[in-house]
Amino acid sequence: MTKLAVYLKHFAPRTATNSLFLPGPIVKDPWAAMTAAVGAGTDAADGQPARLSVPGIEPVDGTVEVVVSTSFVGMRTDDALYTLIHGYNDMVFATAHYFDDRDPSAETEAWQAWLAGVAA
């Protein structure tokens, strides 16, 4: 429900033009990597400034919108909503919803490489 609230507050009535849902590796403790990817520390908090920092994706500033410590961190930019999830059976997921006309193929490859790196 929180993700929906972020959409309604910051993106409505725009529609996501592309979305990604990428399952990744099984990792016991990816929290530091997840929060580093959004430019927040392991003490990430709702409302703090964020900077998307994933190799292969142009860095962009935003805001941390959702934190459930050690399992979920989400940030928004002017044109996208990103979430990183440590979920069922310790699997890590990356999601993105784009509200502009970008081609997500380069970001898809970057997120896949990032997910692979979390397990390394």
* Predicted TM-score of the model (pTM): 0.94
pLDDT at 119: 85
Residue 1 pLDDT > 70, yes or no?
Answer: no
pLDDT tens profile 12-28 = 999 999 999 999 999 99
Dist CA 39 CA 100 (whole Å) = 22
> Rounded to whole angstroms, how far apart are CA atoms 48 and 44?
7
Short-list 95, 65, 94, 93, CA closest to 78:
65
- Taking a C-beta distance cutoff of 8 angstroms, is the pair 107, 21 a contact? no
Distance, CA of 18 to CA of 102 (rounded, Å): 8
- For each of the domains in the chain, give its residue range(s) and CATH number, in order of start: 2-119 (3.30.530)
